[in-house]
Amino acid sequence: MPELTPLLQDFLKTPVHSHFMDGDFVSSNSDETFPVINPATEEIIAQVSLGSMEDVDKAVVSAKKAFQHDSPWRKMLPDDRGKILYKLAEKIEENKESLAQLVTLENGKLLRDAKSSDVGGAAKTFRYYAGWCTKIEGETIDLSQPQKGGKQNFAFTRREPIGVVAAIVPWNFPLSVASWKLAPALAAGCTVVLKPSEETPLSVLLLAQLAMEAGMPSGVFNIVLGDGKTTGAALTAHPHISKVTFTGSTHTGKIIGKSAMDNVTGISLELGGKSPAIVYDDPIDFSAVAKGVAAGIFRNQGQVCVAGSRVYIHKKVFDKVLADICHEAEKIKIGNGFDETADMGPLVSASHRDKVCHYIDQGISDGASLVSGGRKIYDKGYYLQPTVFSATDNELAIIREEIFGPVLVAVPFDDLKHAIQKANDSKLGLAATVWTKDISKAIKTINRLEAGVVYVNSPVRSDPNLPLGGYKQSGIGRELGKTGIYNYTTLKSVNIVY
C-alpha cells in the first residue's frame, strides 16, 4: 500500500466526520454514528454521523438561503459560475492522489480505476458543465392567438434554475456519480443537498472542501451523511426540495418516487440494470470480443450499473466464445485495490458479497452450469472470484435480477430475432452491447434493443458528453450531456403585450 497523502492522513484523524452545510463542517444533532469499513481489510477507517431529520432540515435551510434571489449565487453571472466549476475541476485534478486513495479505502476498487473513473470522471464532468453555464437559453415564440384590441406581443421562454436539489447517490462510483448530479445542478444555478451512500460517505467530504477553495459560496453545496431509511427518506420528503435526483437500485427508486410525489417534487431516477451483450457469429476476432465482454462485467468487481451481466452468444460460436471469456476471467488477479498488479478488488461490503454469493448458490440450485469461479477467497476482505455461468433458460433469477457483482451468465441464440427477443425479455433496460462487424446487423439490433445506451464492439463506458439513462424500470429521465442540464431547469413562458 502506498503512503497516504498528508492531506488524507490529516482527514482520517477526524474522530467523527460530520455534515457539511452553510460552507462548513457542522456536528450532528444526533449522537448516532456509523463506521466506514475498508472492504479490503475489514478495518474501520472512520466514524460518521448519522443525520437526523433536524440535520436534514438544517442542510435544506442552508441550501434554500443560498438560493434566495439576492444571494451571491443567484446574483452571480453565468460566466463566473462557470469559472468556479472549472476551478473545481482543476482542484480535483490537483488532488487526484488524495481523492483516489480515499475512494479506494472506502470502496475497495483499484486505485487506478479510482483515478481514472472516479476522480478523472468527476473532473471531466465539472469541466463539461462549466461550459454549459453560459449556454442555458430560452426561445422567442410567435403566438397563434391574436392579442385583444389590436395590440401586439412579444412571447418568450426563460430557463430558470429549478431550486434546491436533493441528490442521493450510491457507493459504486462515489465521486463521479455525485458529480453527474452536482455539476449540472450547479451549472444551472441550483443549490444542492447531497446524501452519499452510507458505505462511501468520505470522498465527497473532501470534494466539499475543494469546492469552497474553488470559490463556491456558502450554502450552495451541502452534504448530509446517513443511511437511506432515516436521512435519505427525510431529505426526499422535505417540502422545500424542488427536485430529487437519485441514482441507486430500482427498489429504492420506487420508494423515493412515491415519497417525492407526495410533495409533487420533480424526480429523475437512474436505476438498476441487467444489461445484455449480444455476440454474433461474424468472422470477427472472438478472443478480442471475449476480452471486451469480460471487461464489461468484471470492471469495478461487476458493481457497475451498465455492466453486461448477460451475454447472448450465437450458437455456432458459443463454446469458443464462452471458453475465451472463462480464460479472461481466470487470468484476473484479485487483490487489494492499492496493489498495482491486481485486476480486481474486493466487493464493497460483507452484506453485498453475501447477496452476490446467494445469487451464485441460487444459480446452481436452479440448474445453471457454473463454468468458472463462484468462490469467496482470502480470509480477510470481501473478495469473490469472477464467476461465469452457462444457461439456456431465460427465466432463471441470475438472468432476470440485477446481481451487481462479478457474475456473468452466457446463453446461446439461433438468429438476430431470437437474440433481440431474449435481450429485451427483462423488466430493466439500461444498456446493451452488440459485437459484430456487420453494419446492417448492428443497426437493426441497435434500433430494436430496449436500452437507454447501446455500444457496438466495446463495453459501455460513461462519458460526460453522452446522455445516460434507462428504458423500463431502469429509470426516468437522462443525465449527462445536454439533457443533463435540463434536469435542473424549469421553463417560464412570458408574453409581453404592448
| Subset of 243-272 contacting ligand NAD (CB under 6 A) | 247-249, 252, 255-256, 270-272
317 or 431: whose CB is closer to ligand NAD?
Answer: 431
Residue 56 engages ligand NAD in binding (rule: CB under 6 A): no
* Bridge partners (DSSP) listed for residue 431: 453
Catalytic residue among 106, 133, 190, 305: 305
Residue 106 engages ligand NAD in binding (rule: CB under 6 A): no
Number of residues that bind ligand NAD (CB under 6 A): 32
Q: Which one of 209-217, 229-237, 283-291, 369-377 is the stretch in contact with ligand NAD (CB under 6 A)?
A: 229-237
The residue of the chain with the least Cβ separation from ligand NAD equals 228
Compute the chain's Rg from CA coordinates: 24
Residue 203 engages ligand NAD in binding (rule: CB under 6 A): no
Task: Report in angstroms how near the CB of residue 252 gets to ligand NAD at its nearest.
Answer: 3
Please tell me the distance from the alpha carbon of residue 73 to that of residue 80, in angstroms, as a whole number: 10
Task: Report in angstroms how near the CB of residue 290 gets to ligand NAD at its nearest.
Answer: 24
122 or 313: whose CB is closer to ligand NAD?
Answer: 122
Q: Which one of 82-90, 114-122, 169-177, 291-299 is the stretch in contact with ligand NAD (CB under 6 A)?
A: 169-177
342 or 468: whose CB is closer to ligand NAD?
Answer: 468
311 or 468: whose CB is closer to ligand NAD?
Answer: 468
> Does residue 479 carry a catalytic annotation?
no
* SS3 labels along the chain: CCCCCHHHHHHCCCCCECEEECCEEECCCCCCEEEEECCCCCCEEEEEECCCHHHHHHHHHHHHHHCCCCCHHHHCCHHHHHHHHHHHHHHHHHCHHHHHHHHHHHHCCCHHHHHHHHHHHHHHHHHHHHHHHHHCCCCEECCCCCCHHHCCEEEEEEEEECCEEEEECCCCCCCHHHHHHHHHHHHCCCEEEEECCCCCCCHHHHHHHHHHHCCCCCCCEEECCCCHHHHHHHHHCCCCCCEEEEECCHHHHHHHHHHHHHCCCEEEEECCCCEEEEECCCCCCHHHHHHHHHHHHHHHHHCCCCCEEEEEEECCCHHHHHHHHHHHHHHCCECCCCCCCCCECCCCCHHHHHHHHHHHHHHHHCCCEEEECCCEECCCCCEECCEEEECCCCCCHHHHCCCCCCEEEEEEECCHHHHHHHHHCCCEECEEEEECCCHHHHHHHHHHCCCCEEEECCCCCCCCCCCECCEECCEECCECHHHHHHCCEEEEEEEEEC
Residue 195 engages ligand NAD in binding (rule: CB under 6 A): yes
Q: For residue 323, what are the CA distances in angstroms to 152, 387, 406?
A: 73, 13, 17
Task: Report in angstroms how near the CB of residue 260 gets to ligand NAD at its nearest.
Answer: 10
Catalytic residue among 106, 198, 199, 270: 270
Per-residue x/- mask for ligand NAD, residues 298 to 337, rule CB under 6 A? -------x--------------------------------
Cell of 205: 467530504
Residue 118 engages ligand NAD in binding (rule: CB under 6 A): no
Residue 178 engages ligand NAD in binding (rule: CB under 6 A): no
Residue 233 engages ligand NAD in binding (rule: CB under 6 A): yes
Task: Report in angstroms how near the CB of residue 461 gets to ligand NAD at its nearest.
Answer: 13
246 or 383: whose CB is closer to ligand NAD?
Answer: 246
> Does residue 305 carry a catalytic annotation?
yes
Phi, psi of 285 (to 5 degrees): -80, 95
Task: Report in angstroms how near the CB of residue 431 gets to ligand NAD at its nearest.
Answer: 9
- Least Cα distance to 292 among 370, 404, 391, 408 occurs for 408
- Work out the number of other CB atoms within 10 angstroms of the CB of residue 377: 11
| Subset of 361-390 contacting ligand NAD (CB under 6 A) | none
Q: Which one of 127-135, 152-160, 166-174, 388-396 is the stretch in contact with ligand NAD (CB under 6 A)?
A: 166-174
Task: Report in angstroms how near the CB of residue 68 gets to ligand NAD at its nearest.
Answer: 26
Q: Which one of 62-70, 211-219, 221-229, 278-286 is the stretch in contact with ligand NAD (CB under 6 A)?
A: 221-229
Per-residue x/- mask for ligand NAD, residues 125 to 164, rule CB under 6 A? ----------------------------------------
| Subset of 439-498 contacting ligand NAD (CB under 6 A) | 468, 470, 475
Q: Given candidates 75, 229, 375, 437, which one binds ligand NAD under the rule CB under 6 A? A: 229
Catalytic residue set: 270, 305
Which spans of this chain sit near ligand NAD (rule: CB under 6 A)? 168-172, 177, 195, 197-198, 227-229, 232-233, 236, 247-249, 252, 255-256, 270-273, 305, 402, 404, 430, 468, 470, 475
